[in-house]
């Protein structure tokens, strides 16, 4: 059994994090939850630098043996706060989620769920972001059951470096899941639209609306064999997708091109 820190971006009262934490605690893991006090979706890796962070212990939401805190900060704030001010010992794993909605392809760049896991990886701790790939489904137990199975494997395996994984679970019954695939990051594009609306005093405001373009060709990765599907492709076939991520965003291909150019003449 391990010591697991859990955070999310849907907030401390979200069903996804409650299902995840309780499932792990019932199996014997030591679980600490530190989550935003309200929904903080799509906050990316933002930090709170110009306001105080307020945090308090929370009762009556989780199993009795789960230590839980709500925090006024972002998901990344929550993990930083947990590691520095709440936990007395370093956790074996950092789990984030279970997010209500997918984090596929380029979604990971905006996701608070993924950023909370990334904060754990930055501290050298194996970390996983879990997402239920639907906004309309509310059955989080298959995702929590898989997170439980994955936990001991992550704890027992000696990886070359602490992994950062984005895991998406199809919104179907456990019996209907096709299997588990290790995938690469795909591409999701949106048609962006800012809808103009008016408040009761006649002043205008804007609401971001986006429509996903699903039927786009998925890019190839020259560093990976072509048979490895993208997370976008595999989730459509009802597979649980495990996409290893990294926080080093250096583009090696462009580095080579730029290195050949003469910038001193600019």
Task: Round to whole Å and give the CA distance between 181 and 45.
Answer: 27
Report if residue 195 sits inside a domain. Answer: no
Distance of CA 87 to the CA centre of its chain: 21
State the pTM of this model: 0.92
Q: Which residues pair with 194 in a beta bridge?
A: 208
On whether residue 194 sits in a domain, the answer given is no
- Residue 193 located in a structural domain: no
Q: What pLDDT sits at residue 20?
A: 98
Residue pLDDT tens, the chain, 266 long = 899 999 999 999 999 999 999 999 999 999 999 999 999 998 999 999 999 999 999 998 999 999 999 999 999 999 999 999 999 999 999 999 999 999 999 999 999 999 999 999 999 999 999 999 999 999 999 999 999 999 999 999 999 999 999 999 999 999 999 999 999 999 887 777 888 999 999 999 998 877 777 656 677 787 888 889 999 999 999 999 999 999 998 988 888 888 888 776 66
Where in the sequence is the domain holding 173, given as residue range(s)? 3-183+220-254
Spatial separation of the C-alpha atoms in residues 253 and 233, rounded to whole Å:
25
Report the SS3 class of residue 259.
helix
Residues 129 and 161: beta-carbon distance below 8 Å:
no
| Domain assignment of residue 27, yes or no | yes
Distance CA 210, CA 133 (A): 17
Place of tokens 């074996």: 92
Where residue 104 sits, what CATH number does that domain have? Answer: 3.40.1210.10
Q: What is the pLDDT of residue 215?
A: 56
Residue 118 lies in a domain: yes
Query: Is 241 inside a domain boundary?
Result: yes
**Domain presence at residue 8:** yes
Tell me how many domains the chain contains: 1
The pLDDT, as a whole number, for residue 214 is 64
Tell me whether residue 80 is in a domain.
Answer: yes
Q: What is the pLDDT of residue 251?
A: 86
Q: Nearest 5 degrees, angle CA 163-CA 167-CA 173?
A: 150
């Amino acid at each position: 059994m391990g010591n697991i820190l859990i955070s999310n971006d849907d907030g401390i009262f979200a069903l996804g994090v409650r299902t995840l934490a309780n499932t792990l605690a019932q199996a014997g893991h030591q679980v600490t939850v530190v989550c935003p006090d309200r929904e903080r979706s799509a906050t990316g890796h933002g930090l709170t630098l110009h306001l105080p962070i307020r945090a308090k212990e929370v009762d009556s939401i989780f199993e009795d043996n789960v230590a839980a805190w709500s925090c006024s900060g972002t998901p990344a704030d929550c993990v930083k706060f947990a590691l520095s001010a709440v936990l007395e010992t370093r956790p074996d794993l950092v789990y984030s989620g279970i997010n209500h909605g997918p984090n596929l392809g380029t979604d990971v760049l905006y996701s608070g769920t993924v950023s909370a896991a990334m904060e754990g990886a930055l501290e050298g701790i194996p970390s996983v972001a879990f997402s239920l790939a639907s906004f309309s489904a509310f059955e989080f137990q298959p995702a929590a059951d898989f997170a439980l199975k994955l936990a001991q494997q992550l704890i027992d395996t000696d990886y070359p470096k602490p992994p950062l994984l984005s895991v998406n679970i199809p919104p179907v019954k456990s019996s209907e899941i096709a299997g588990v695939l290790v995938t690469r990051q795909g591409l999701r594009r949106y048609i962006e639209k800012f809808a103009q609306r008016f408040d009761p005093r006649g002043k205008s405001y804007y609401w971001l609306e986006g429509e996903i373009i699903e039927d786009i060709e998925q890019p190839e990765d020259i560093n990976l064999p072509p048979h490895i599907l993208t997370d976008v492709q595999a989730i459509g076939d009802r597979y649980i997708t495990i996409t290893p991520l990294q926080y080093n965003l250096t583009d090696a291909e462009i580095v080579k091109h730029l290195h050949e150019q003469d910038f001193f003449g600019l």
